[in-house]
């Protein structure tokens, strides 16, 4: 069974972030902390601010021409909009291009002598051909004239890039090649290679760039291309194209995953100009230098699901030295976490988070060694102010590394528990302390027809065996087998058999052995027409991970055929809370107020809900954000917003969720209190030994005894 969503929606309006000053919070601990000891230096960096908050340009393309920036956006009805932003005055002038045909798009821009030229492509309803026009506007975006392109472009080709040089020559990149046009020679083909875009040096040397290759210098006389001869050019990655117009002494700019560089081909020098992390840039895709030394960049915001244009102002060394830094370390920063940090840094007043990553996904790095380096640093006392933590959490907590955030919540007058899913935070507590704060969460559970289990939300193997079921009905089923099914069940049951505080476990208990035997009833072969096995009474319990309302709704409407269903757990009440992310504050930090502000910032409604056009991927901790996210799922589907699930190889569409389903799941989430036991080493022990039983190599009792012995040794090592 495969879930799929087809979302064809307008881009969401980006909400500008407001400043949040730190408000001191008094906690019960008055001991002066020693302070974080991890040392992190800032690289060349910029202050980053959104260029404009105009909703028509929340998902823009752009091009810079001196102090003027041309923006392309869209109205809610899909009509293309252009804007002319003056960097010296901050004034934005805009106009809408009438939709002259079924399909209208803006392909390229040029601005000079107070005239803006926009190449517009029109297409028919079948998308079988295009026609091209040049629209000319003045600085107030009043239309001046319309004229055809100076060259013919095959109506079945697309215009990829277009540049106008100071002598009037024009370069066109289309999907069938590159062409140079000037009045003296007319149209000449430069190359029939597949090229991506055009890059200009300050002296107007032309470089043609393949999307996954090295720039080639164009000789305008001979129309030949010569590859850029430099060592240590960045490898292609998600930032590339990767090459952009040069400025000053740099012939052209380029990026790798970490920074923007200036290239000087004559000397072979590559100079780091902008460090992405230290400039609050995540997945920066485009750069344009400005005459005053500032720069424009396009960054994709993976939380709001759209790109935005940022104005970058280089920090002086004096500014860098004056920044009050708060260190944040992790084994690795994923894109969502980086985006959250960048958002926070842009609005933080007087301080900023500076990052330390132990693993960079470099082929020369060994992941396990980087993990050990991170853990060993923490155990040795080389700690940051804030850290992202995972499976070694309890070992580190036992060493007293983390601040208990419960007093900060209780003593902050601006923090109101009723605004948040506090049961999620409590489920992740350890020894009564709330030390880990997740970004969001999901729920691991089972679903069954109410006619068989009633309203029972906590089932034991004994309860399941006692049910009055149709003959031949399986209790559980996984197409991948018993070991996979047990892996799903582990999320819910592990915490029942482990006592970390006293370093004890009970895997050799009758309760655990009965769970092994329950999983061993999973059919070894395929259940006929397995995608409909739950509605057709061939399997009782369906496994599910609920990360959005549609997960419940899809099961209710399609998998169980609109019959009444109950969400339940095996060995736990209702299911297990699975947090995403885990931010902890160092007990030694002197920057706990700033760290607490970062936590509150991430729990704000605007940083947990991103609009109806941003598909949810996990459940927010902020209640208002959660309710809005669920409400969006009840908006009736239309031709631009459909949802379907693959059942027995066929796509089956389903309608929007109902208000009754919304209320059911909201109420259900409040009943949960069991957190997932996220200990990969212990989980692997259980999985390795249990798989021997499922493959017939030992009895359930022998597997449980082996798990007990290995788990006891492991827990003793954690103290």
Provide mean pLDDT across the span 599-615: 89
DSSP letters, 256-315, are -SSEEEEEETTTTEEEEEEETGGGT-SSEEEEEE-TTS-EEEEEEETTTTEEEEEEEEEP
Mean pLDDT of the chain: 87
Residue pointed to by tokens 């079924």: 102
The reported pLDDT for the residue numbered 383 is: 92
Q: What percent of the chain is predicted at pLDDT more than 90?
A: 59
The reported pLDDT for the residue numbered 101 is: 61
The reported pLDDT for the residue numbered 16 is: 24
Supply the DSSP symbol for 580.
E
* Residue 23, pLDDT above cutoff 50: no
Provide mean pLDDT across the span 329-351: 89
Provide mean pLDDT across the span 422-448: 95
What is the pLDDT confidence band of residue 251, given thresholds at 50, 70 and 90? very high
Lowest mean pLDDT among 89-93, 501-505, 564-568: 501-505
Pure H helices in 358-507 = 367-379, 393-398, 406-411, 422-427, 450-453, 461-465, 482-493
Can you tell me the distance from the alpha carbon of 59 to that of 72, in angstroms, rounded to the nearest whole number?
Answer: 8
Provide mean pLDDT across the span 378-395: 87
Can you tell me the distance from the alpha carbon of 227 to that of 220, in angstroms, rounded to the nearest whole number?
Answer: 15
Q: Which two tokens stand for residue 253?
A: 């700019």
Higher pLDDT, 262 or 155: 262
Q: Which two tokens stand for residue 230?
A: 């430099």
The reported pLDDT for the residue numbered 640 is: 53
The reported pLDDT for the residue numbered 495 is: 87
* Residue 220, pLDDT above cutoff 80: yes
393 Cβ neighbours under 8 A, 6+ residues apart: 430, 435, 436, 582, 584, 678
* Residue 13, pLDDT above cutoff 60: no
For residue range 654-685, list pLDDT tens digits in order. Answer: 889 999 999 999 999 999 999 998 888 899 99
Provide mean pLDDT across the span 692-714: 96
What is the pLDDT confidence band of residue 68, given thresholds at 50, 70 and 90? very high
Burial letters 565-597, b for 16+ CB under 10 A, else e: bbbbbbbbbbbbbbbbbbbbbbbbbebbbbbbb
Entry pTM: 0.83
The reported pLDDT for the residue numbered 9 is: 26
What is the pLDDT confidence band of residue 235, given thresholds at 50, 70 and 90? low
Provide mean pLDDT across the span 542-569: 95
* Residue 132, pLDDT above cutoff 90: no
The reported pLDDT for the residue numbered 641 is: 63
Q: Are strands 504-505 and 542-546 parallel, antiparallel or unpaired?
A: unpaired
The reported pLDDT for the residue numbered 239 is: 44
What is the pLDDT confidence band of residue 277, given thresholds at 50, 70 and 90? confident
Domains and CATH numbers, the chain: 47-317 (2.120.10.30), 440-578+673-717 (3.40.190.10)
Count Cβ atoms below 10 Å from residue 362 Cβ, excluding itself: 9
Can you tell me the distance from the alpha carbon of 680 to that of 683, in angstroms, rounded to the nearest whole number?
Answer: 5
Provide mean pLDDT across the span 516-525: 94
Can you tell me the distance from the alpha carbon of 371 to that of 383, in angstroms, rounded to the nearest whole number?
Answer: 15
Higher pLDDT, 36 or 386: 386
* Residue 303, pLDDT above cutoff 90: no
What is the pLDDT confidence band of residue 301, given thresholds at 50, 70 and 90? confident
Provide mean pLDDT across the span 196-221: 89
Can you tell me the distance from the alpha carbon of 311 to that of 602, in angstroms, rounded to the nearest whole number?
Answer: 23
Judge whether 460 and 555 are in contact, CB under 8 Å.
Answer: no
Q: Which two tokens stand for residue 521?
A: 């009833």
């Amino acid at each position: 069974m495969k879930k799929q969503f087809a979302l064809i929606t307008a881009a969401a309006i980006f909400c500008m972030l407001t400043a949040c000053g730190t408000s001191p919070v008094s906690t019960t601990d008055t001991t002066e902390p020693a302070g974080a000891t991890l040392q992190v230096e800032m690289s060349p960096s910029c202050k980053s601010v959104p260029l404009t908050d105009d909703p028509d340009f929340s998902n823009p393309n752009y091009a810079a021409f001196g102090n003027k920036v041309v923006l392309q956006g869209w109205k809610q009805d899909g009509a293309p909009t252009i804007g002319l932003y003056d960097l010296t005055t901050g004034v934005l002038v805009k106009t809408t291009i009438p939709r002259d045909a079924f399909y209208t798009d803006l392909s390229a821009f040029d601005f000079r002598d107070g005239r803006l030229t926009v190449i517009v492509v029109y297409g028919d309803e079948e998308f079988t051909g295009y026609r091209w026009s040049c629209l000319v506007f003045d600085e107030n975006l009043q239309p001046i004239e319309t004229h055809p392109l100076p060259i013919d472009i095959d109506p079945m080709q697309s215009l990829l890039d277009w540049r106008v040089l100071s002598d009037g020559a024009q370069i066109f990149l289309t999907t069938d090649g590159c062409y140079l046009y000037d009045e003296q020679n007319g149209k000449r083909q430069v190359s029939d290679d597949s090229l991506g875009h055009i890059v200009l040096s300050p002296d107007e040397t032309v470089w043609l760039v393949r999307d996954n290759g090295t720039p080639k210098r164009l000789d305008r006389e001979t129309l030949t291309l010569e590859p850029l001869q430099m060592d240590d050019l960045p490898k292609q990655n998600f930032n590339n194209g990767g090459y952009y117009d040069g400025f000053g002494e740099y012939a052209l700019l380029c990026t790798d995953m970490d920074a923007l560089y200036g290239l000087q081909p004559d000397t072979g020098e590559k100079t780091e100009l902008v460090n992405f992390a230290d400039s609050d840039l995540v997945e920066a895709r485009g750069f344009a230098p400005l005459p005053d030394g500032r720069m424009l960049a396009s960054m994709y915001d993976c939380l709001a699901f759209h790109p935005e244009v940022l104005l970058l102002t280089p920090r002086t060394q004096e500014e860098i030295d004056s920044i009050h830094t708060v260190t944040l370390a992790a084994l690795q920063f994923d894109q969502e976490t980086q985006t959250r940090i960048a958002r926070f840094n842009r609005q933080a007043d007087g301080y900023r988070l500076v990052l330390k990553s132990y693993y960079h996904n470099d082929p020369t790095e060994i992941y396990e060694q980087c993990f050990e380096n991170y853990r060993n640093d923490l155990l040795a006392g080389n700690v940051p102010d804030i850290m992202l933590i995972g499976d070694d959490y309890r070992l580190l907590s036992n060493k007293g590394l983390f601040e208990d955030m419960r007093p900060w919540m209780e003593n902050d007058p601006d923090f109101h528990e009723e605004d948040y899913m506090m049961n999620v935070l409590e489920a992740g507590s350890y020894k009564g302390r709330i030390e880990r704060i997740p970004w969001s969460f999901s729920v691991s559970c089972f679903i069954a027809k109410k006619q068989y289990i009633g309203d029972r939300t906590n089932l034991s193997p004994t309860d399941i065996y006692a049910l009055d079921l149709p003959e031949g009905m399986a209790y559980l089923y996984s197409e991948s087998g018993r070991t996979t099914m047990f892996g799903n069940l582990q999320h819910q049951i592990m915490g029942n058999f482990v006592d970390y505080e006293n370093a004890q476990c009970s895997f050799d208990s009758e309760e655990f052995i009965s769970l092994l035997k329950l999983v061993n009833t999973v059919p070894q072969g395929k259940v006929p027409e397995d995608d409909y096995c739950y509605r057709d009474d061939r399997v009782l319990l369906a496994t599910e991970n609920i990360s959005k309302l549609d997960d419940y709704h899809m099961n209710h409407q399609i998998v169980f055929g609109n019959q009444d269903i109950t969400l339940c757990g095996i060995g736990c009440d209702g299911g297990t809370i699975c947090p995403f992310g885990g931010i902890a504050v160092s007990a030694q930090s002197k920057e706990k107020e700033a760290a607490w502000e970062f936590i509150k910032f991430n729990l704000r409604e605007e940083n947990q809900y991103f609009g109806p056009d941003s598909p949810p991927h996990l459940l927010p901790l902020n209640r208002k954000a959660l309710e809005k996210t669920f409400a969006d799922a009840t908006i009736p589907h239309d031709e631009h917003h459909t949802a379907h699930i693959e059942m027995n190889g066929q796509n089956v569409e389903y309608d929007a969720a109902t208000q009754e389903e919304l209320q059911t799941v909201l109420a259900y989430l409040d009943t949960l209190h069991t957190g997932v036991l996220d200990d990969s080493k212990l989980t692997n022990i259980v999985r390795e030994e249990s798989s021997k039983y499922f493959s017939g190599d030992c009895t359930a009792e022998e597997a449980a005894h082996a798990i007990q012995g290995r788990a006891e040794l492991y827990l003793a090592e954690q103290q």
